[in-house]
Structure 1
Amino acid sequence: MVLVIVLAALALIAGIAANKWLRPILLKEDDGKGMAVKDLVGPLLTMTVLLLSFVLVTANGSYGKAETAANSEARAVDQLVETAGYLPANSPQRARIQADAVCYARAVRTQEWPLMDQGNGDGSPAPSVWSTDFRTVFGQLQDKPVFGMLVSADNDRSVARDERLAQATPSIASAIFWFLLATLVVTVTALGFCLPRKNNRGQIVTLTVITALLTTTLIIIKDVDRPFGGIVDVPPHAIAEVERQATRDFVAHHPASQIPCDDKGNRRAV
């Protein structure tokens, strides 16, 4: 980082020095000629647009990964429920796995999802209660054909959950965001400085539109970089649908049993 700063400073000093002493000797031109301020604004605007575009693509990629992880986790939980269905109808392990799946989905939807809006990558301990219970039940099924399928589905769930929590952390560092904001301010100010002082209504309208577009892009970047909060977010629709289906199946096949958690995924008192 120090090397970059030093070289950039040396380049600036060298350019100014060459402009003052070397250029008059080589070009033999009037000191008043050269690039005007408006000629320098064009590259500045181009750089601003390119930077915003690059960062927007990066933020959108993080949003896509977050959505994929949420959907993958829901599919894995659904796979657990379906695989447990291969156990005998009167098997206590079947009922327990399906009930745990309902409680896990409830805990993720109602407790962990709101926490991800904080953007620190921390999850709720509530879903872990039920994922631990999964593994406890699996230990009782090691001699069953479905054991490997259940372990595989649970591993997929765990990996997808870890990825979902990881993507909840912003992928764009705060320093980069503030640098983009500073670049936008400098660009818009420089464009306004270069406008003609008279008969400039059209130029002012154009500058206003450019400012609005650049500002909107920066706002979208900030919003998309928070995939589980803000305006454009990843809602818990997939895990909610799995919860609904698992609850329906559990009630249909085990009408005499009670789901061992409340509506928020907290274990009921025994």
Structure 2
Amino acid sequence: MALVIIVAVVAFLAGLAANRWLRPRLLTADDDEGMAVKDLVGPLLTLTVLLLAFVLVTANGSYGKAEVASRGEARALDQLVETAEYAPVLQRSRIQADAVCYARAVRVQEWPAMADGNGSAAPSVWSTDFRVAFKTLEGKPAFGMLIAADNKRSDEREERLTQASPSIPSAIFWFLLATLTITVVALGICLPRKNNRGQILTLAVITALLTTTLCIIRDVDRPYGGIIEVRPTAIAEAERQAERDFEANHPTDDLPCDAAGNRLTV
């Protein structure tokens, strides 16, 4: 985001400099007339619509899918905890404890890593432990329901991790940045050299709006690390409910993980 702002400011200053020193060389006589303020609205509307289209596609795509996946994963985990109530006491205790630790690992370790487009191996420790517990329930009535809930959790987690990576290729982003630069410089050249305070102010507003739009595209394309980020609210609520159920059913047992979801014992 800082790069976008820096390039936009440099383009704005380059446009003013070109208007000051390059424009006189391109004209045969002194020219006090240039592009009027109303003439700047056309390129502004065209580029704004184009960039907003990218924002809408990104917002409805990557960001929306990321939010849906995070909520779906939390619901699947909650269903897993509730289905474990139909399992024998030993397996129920293990599954519900693993669910709490899984949620902690996702919230504390994997969520910050997704800001950079990465995942974490910490939740996989507990998803593996789920399957170990399921093997002892094969043939029991709860086995099929537990497998279905865990498969749903796994699919939603995979989708969540997929959406952590930018959906807009770098080439497209650099193309948009180059378009912004060329547009601002070209508009700067077209400004009149005298009595141009209103045009310069308009160009500054246009530059700020286009820069803000491009920053929004960059931010929304990273749904877990930007200003408009998907927060781990759903998984935190699933963790709270799983911990409540575990403590209610097994008040004398301890969780096998710390507050960050790391295993305490092997």
TM-score bin (small chain): 0.7 to 0.9
Counterparts of 2:107 and 2:257, CA distance in 1: 14
- Runs of 4+ residues deviating >4 angstroms: 37-47
In structure 2, the partner of 1:65 is: 65
1:234 Cα deviation after fit: 0.9
Instruction: Give CA-to-partner distance per residue, 1:170-201, whole Å, 9 cap, x none.
Output: 01111111111110011111112212223322
Determine if the alignment matches structure 1 residue 259 to structure 2 residue 259: no
Structure 2 residue 226 is the aligned partner of structure 1 residue 220: no
Compute the displacement of 1:47 (Å): 4.8
Question: AA paired with 2:220?
Answer: V
How many residues are paired up? 231
Q: Equivalents in 2 of 1:133, 1:242: separation in Å? A: 18
Deviation at residue 216 of structure 1 after TM alignment: 0.2
**8 Å Cα contact 2:44-2:206 kept in structure 1:** no
The structure with more radius of gyration: 1
Which blocks of at least 5 consecutive residues in structure 2 are unaligned?
1-33
Is the counterpart of residue 139 in structure 1 residue 139 in structure 2? no
What are the residue-to-residue correspondences of 1:3-82 with 2, within 5 Å?
Answer: 45=44, 47-60=46-59, 61-82=61-82
Equivalent in the alignment of 2:229 = 233
Using the alignment, how far apart are the partners of 2:133 and 2:87 within structure 1?
12
Q: Alignment partner of 1:141: what SS?
A: coil
- Whether the 8 Å CA contact 1:41–1:187 is kept in 2: the answer is no
- Tell me whether 1:159 sits opposite 2:158 in the alignment: no
User: Contact 1:84/1:98 (CA < 8 Å) preserved in 2?
Assistant: yes
Give the letter for the 1:76 counterpart: A
Output the CA distance in 1 between the equivalents of 2:193 and 2:92.
78
- Corresponding position: 1:181 with 2:180: no
> SS at the partner of 1:146?
helix
Structure 1 unaligned spans of 5+: 1-36
Q: Which moved more, 1:176-185 or 1:190-199?
A: 190-199
| Aligned residue type for 1:108 | V
Shift of 1:59: 2.0
1:145-165 deviation per Cα after TM superposition (whole angstroms, max 9, x unaligned): 221111111000000000001
Task: Report the residue type matching 1:53 in the other structure.
Answer: L
What displacement does 1:49 show? 2.8
**Kindly, what percent of the aligned residue pairs are identical?**
66
Does the 8 A contact of 1:69 with 1:160 survive in 2? yes
**In the alignment, which residue of structure 1 is the partner of 2:30?**
none
Residue of structure 1 aligned with 2:101, choices 94, 103, 108: 103
Partner of 1:195: 191
**1:111 to partner: Cα distance:** 1.1
Give, in whole Å, the separation in 1 of the partners of 2:110 and 2:122. 8
Alignment check: 8 A CA contact 1:172 1:225 kept: yes
TM-score (norm 2): 0.81
Aligned-pair CA distance for 1:203: 2.0
Following the alignment from structure 2 to structure 1, what is the Cα–Cα distance between the partners of residues 221 and 203?
A: 27
Q: Deviations over 1:63-111 (max 9, x none)?
A: 11111111111111011001112235xx111111100100100111111
Following superposition, the deviation at residue 51 of structure 1 comes to 3.2
Q: CA deviation at 1:42?
A: 7.5
Checking the alignment, whether the CA contact within 8 Å between 1:48 and 1:180 is kept in structure 2 is no
Separation in 1, partners of 2:204, 2:45: 17
**1:101-139 deviations in whole A, cap 9, x for unaligned?**
0010011111111111112xx421111111111111111
Q: Indicate the SS of the match to 2:136.
A: helix
Amino acid across the alignment from 2:105: A
- Are the counterparts in 2 of residues 77 and 242 from structure 1 also a CA contact under 8 Å? yes
Distance in 1 (CA, whole Å) between partners of 2:106 and 2:76 is 13
